[in-house]
Amino acid sequence: MIITLTMPIQISNHPNLRVFEHPVIKDKLTRIRNAKTPPSAFRRLLNEIAGLMFFQMSRNFQTVEVPVETPIEKTTGFNLAHQLTLVPILRAGVGMTDGVMAMIPEARVGHIGLYRDEKTKQPVPYYCKLPKDIAKGPVLLIDPMLATGGSAAFAATVLTDEYKCKEIQMMCLVASPEGVEKMQAEHPNLLIYAASLDRCLNENGYILPGLGDAGDRIFGTI
């Protein structure tokens, strides 16, 4: 059966997750999963998927009417009501940022740097630089992999507790059920958008079937 749905669908047992069933996204994701895909193609495909996902995710952004003068006459147009801030989780989140910026170059970009302690599987923060007024507009948290959910939950807590952000969404390429559940438990109002909900985590905390280490594949450090 060929699925031709173009809108993200809600997964019944994960109310905080929306998964894209767009055929073009599914095609590009399949090529990204391929271990033989080189970093240059991996980066290109990742940004293409990010742009396609953002186009649908942004459909509920608020707008305001503005006057505009065309070459023919004056009329009324629309601008986004609030400035968007992208917050990629370093380092892999950077790999999806250009795809979104191609759609909305006016967006600001903050960064939260985290790495996962391989023994404890817990996030370790090392950098944070965000606009002081980030809470005045929507925030898009970006990370290709939602594995254990530790890094994403930590970053979301920084945004909500330290910066008082209210309107946060997350974009990822693939998610595990365990990561989605952790986000639901700690940040139930945060919607996650993914290209795929994968099967599970392995004993090392990697997503199955997954696509390997996204950061290594983006930057060629395998």
Per-residue pLDDT of the chain (222 residues; tens, 9 = 90+): 444 445 677 777 899 999 998 899 999 999 999 999 999 999 999 999 999 999 988 888 899 999 999 999 999 999 998 999 999 999 899 999 999 999 999 999 999 998 877 777 788 899 999 999 999 999 999 999 999 999 999 999 999 999 999 999 999 999 999 999 999 999 999 999 999 999 999 998 899 999 998 888 998 887
Name the DSSP class of 118: T
Backbone angles phi and psi of 48, in degrees to 5: -65, -45
Q: Rounded to an integer, what distance in angstroms lies between the CA atom of residue 67 and that of residue 25?
A: 36
**Collapsing DSSP states into helix, strand and coil, what is residue 142?**
strand
Q: Report cis status (omega within 30 of 0) of the bond before 91.
A: yes
The domains found in the chain, sorted by start residue, are 14-59+83-215 (3.40.50.2020)
Q: What is the pTM of this model?
A: 0.89
85 beta partners? 108, 139
> So what's the pLDDT on residue 5?
44
Q: How far is CA 40 from CA 50, 206, 219, in A?
A: 16, 23, 9
The answer to whether the beta carbons of residues 183 and 170 sit under 8 Å apart is yes
Q: Rounded to an integer, what distance in angstroms lies between the CA atom of residue 90 and that of residue 52?
A: 22
Chain CA centroid to CA 141, Å? 6
Q: Rounded to an integer, what distance in angstroms lies between the CA atom of residue 184 and that of residue 149?
A: 10
Name the token pair of 4. Answer: 């031709």
> So what's the pLDDT on residue 6?
56
Chain CA centroid to CA 211, Å? 16
